[in-house]
Amino acid sequence: MQVILGIIFHFIGGFASGSFYIPYKKVRGWHWESFWIVGGLFSWLIVPPLAAWLTIPGFADIIRGTGISTLGVTYLFGLLWGIGGLTYGLGVRYLGVSLGSSIILGLCMVFGALIPSIYYDFSPVAGKDTFSMMIGSKWGLTVLAGLLVCVIGIIICGKAGMMKEKQLNVAATDPHGSVAKAEYKFGLGMFVSIVSGVLSACFNFGLEAGQSMAAVANDAWKAANPGQGEFLYRNNVIYVVLLWGGLTTNFIWCMILNARNKSFGDYSNKKTPLFSNYLFSALAGTTWFLQFFFYGMGESKLGNGPSSWILHMAFIILVANMWGLVLKEWKGVNKSTITIIIIGIITIMLSVLLVGRGNRLHEKSKQEKITAYVSGDKKIQTCKLLMG
């Protein structure tokens, strides 16, 4: 049941991430940088502390009691993650939407899932799965197989996207929906995409860096609620610090674009529907944050960082492609292209099943170890009694 709940929470988070941009399409008369930073203020500054305040008593005290080095590293990873998101558009510009997105998302998934577990091989932390544990167990190999299958699914979807671009002769758009200039430069595009993919994975690194804050919240909740498992909302305190980094990067870039495009007037332009623009931007920003709100809930149920990150990315890609079909973005392409995108979606769904299977095996393995330990402990106690 824990695994099923974890997968459900990750699906809700992936749905939020794959859907958050839709309210932005209702914004009228504003430049991209204007509605992006208004939504971002809700995503990275307003909603995270509100969510922490509603779910974690004394979250501000936890942050104040955390060491400067932990706060600094968590913030730094948020900063790097923000740069990764912004350079996403350059990868799209130089490689095209489909190829650029496939490379970046694939790298983000692989690095985000594996680097923390490799790190824990060299610096073990109680309760954290290491890479050696994964390759040395059936559950771990199943999870890694799910990762591989998901990357294959991304490649297949990317292939379908490239076919779509050629058949419809559409202008490339970046991940934020803005038209990207077509400047195909394979070498530069590969470099930028690799940088973006690695830096985008820094969000998961930031979560791992801030785990001491989550542990304090978790211990306090478990002390107040004995026997009720792990605290669902423990990661909410990390998001407050981590997303400050993302806000910093995006705020600086959006202000530069406001100055370059002379778009500071957007925020008070009465010729635009100001109320609805702010409302839809706020809705988009809040929806964006919900992806990680539910990510934290899913991770608390699965207790496995690599699996959680793979599921999170898989559901985002799955939902985004499903929205593409629902909104008829693939209308006008030939049957073979539709077939390929459907195969890609099915492949990603298969990866979700594999990761879920790996987590069930992991949970079963932990229960067997607990049972064996309790059984062995009872035998020891019996021997002691018999021996007087």
Sign of CA dihedral 174, 176, 246, 131: negative
| pLDDT tens by residue, 75-104 | 999 999 989 888 776 666 666 655 666 677
- Would you state the structure tokens that stand for residue 147, as one six-digit string? 């990762």
Tell me the C-alpha to C-alpha distance, in Å, between residue 213 and each of 176, 209, 233, 242: 32, 9, 12, 12
Tell me the C-alpha to C-alpha distance, in Å, between residue 259 and each of 113, 233, 255: 38, 39, 6
Number of H helices, E strands in the chain: 15, 0
pLDDT band of 134, cuts 50, 70, 90: confident
| pLDDT tens by residue, 46-79 | 999 999 999 999 999 999 999 999 999 999 999 9
Mean pLDDT of the chain: 82
> Residue 378: pLDDT above 70?
no
Sign of CA dihedral 56, 61, 65, 68: positive
- What pLDDT, on a 0 to 100 scale, did the predictor assign at position 175? 45
pLDDT band of 176, cuts 50, 70, 90: very low
| pLDDT tens by residue, 272-300 | 999 999 999 999 999 999 988 998 888 87
- What pLDDT, on a 0 to 100 scale, did the predictor assign at position 240? 96
For the chain, the farthest-separated pair of C-alpha atoms sits apart, in whole angstroms, at 90
Tell me the C-alpha to C-alpha distance, in Å, between residue 367 and each of 137, 300, 359, 372: 15, 17, 12, 9
In order, the DSSP letters of 243-288 are HHHHHHHHHHHHHHHHHHHT-GGGGG-TTS-HHHHHHHHHHHHHHH
In one-letter notation, the amino acid at residue 40 is G
> Residue 326: pLDDT above 90?
no
- What pLDDT, on a 0 to 100 scale, did the predictor assign at position 92? 63
Alpha carbons 57 and 39: distance in angstroms, whole number: 26
- What pLDDT, on a 0 to 100 scale, did the predictor assign at position 350? 87
- What pLDDT, on a 0 to 100 scale, did the predictor assign at position 35? 92
The pTM assigned to this predicted structure is: 0.77
- What pLDDT, on a 0 to 100 scale, did the predictor assign at position 59? 94
> Residue 188: pLDDT above 80?
no
With contact defined as beta carbons under 8 Å apart, do 250 and 73 qualify? Answer: no
Rg (CA), the chain: 22
pLDDT band of 243, cuts 50, 70, 90: very high
- What pLDDT, on a 0 to 100 scale, did the predictor assign at position 368? 67
- What pLDDT, on a 0 to 100 scale, did the predictor assign at position 375? 57
